[in-house]
Amino acid sequence: MPRARSKEDLLKFSAENYYKLLEMISQMTGNQMNTPFDFSDDAKKTEAHWQRDKNVRDVLVHLYEWQLLLLKFVENNMSEDKNVPTISFLPPDYSWKTYGEMNVMIWKRHQNTPFETAKHLLDETHKKVMALAETFSNEQLFTKKYYPWTGTTDLGAYFVSTLSSHYEWAIKKIKLHCKKIN
């Protein structure tokens, strides 16, 4: 699927990928759901997430937490209260060089989160992020540097990364796991 470059595509691709993800999960067998992810036999899978996530719940809470980051980032930086300081997308202890450590922290935080809770949490943030995206115009979303707090990129890139593109990542990972189990 191409990367969204308009509000219309952002909303469309995000909704399509979200429902595709849910549909795929609903069709997983008990064996696929209960067998831990293991990609250790594939030397090409060198990114940390291939070892980090062990099940569908881990993937869902990862998506959920990144959507929380987006909600906080936008809501805080759009605040009309001049006493609210501008914040970065990532929490203060992390950077784009160390966000892998943040992902591990997220993973650890949710090891006792039940699958159904993870699914519910993601559903809630998905709705909130989609509703938030609706409030912006195409120009506000896809004009680089429209908001000074987005740095050199556009706000839409943050939405694409936490919605449609992140769902594609999750679909690919879960699909590969299911294929290995069959």
pLDDT score of 81: 80
Which pLDDT belongs to residue 144? 96
CB contact set of 72 (below 8 Å; sequence gap of 6+): 87
| 1 part of a folded domain | no
In this prediction the pTM is 0.96
- Please name which of 67, 11, 16, 29 lies closest in space to residue 174, comparing C-alpha atoms: 29
DSSP 3: P
pLDDT tens string for the chain (182 positions)?
A: 778 999 999 999 999 999 999 999 999 999 999 999 999 998 998 899 999 999 999 999 999 999 999 999 999 999 888 778 889 999 999 999 999 999 999 999 999 999 999 999 999 999 999 999 999 999 999 999 999 999 999 999 999 999 999 999 999 999 999 999 88
Under 8 Å between Cβ of 114 and 121: no
Domain at 14, CATH number:
1.20.120.450
Token pair of 151, please?
């740095």
How many separate domains does the chain show? 1
CA neighbours closer than 13 Å in the CB half-sphere of residue 61? 23
The verdict on residue 161 lying in a domain is: yes
Q: What is the pLDDT of residue 28?
A: 97
- Which long-range contacts link 172-176 to residues 24+ away (Cβ below 8 Å)? 173/37, 173/49, 173/50, 173/53, 173/59, 174/21, 174/24, 174/25, 174/28, 174/56, 174/59, 175/24, 176/39
Task: Identify whether 13 is part of a domain.
Answer: yes
Identify the domain containing residue 165 by its residue range. Answer: 7-181
Q: Is the dihedral of CA 78, 80, 82, 84 positive or negative?
A: negative
In 3D, which of 86, 93, 57 has the Cα closest to residue 150? 86
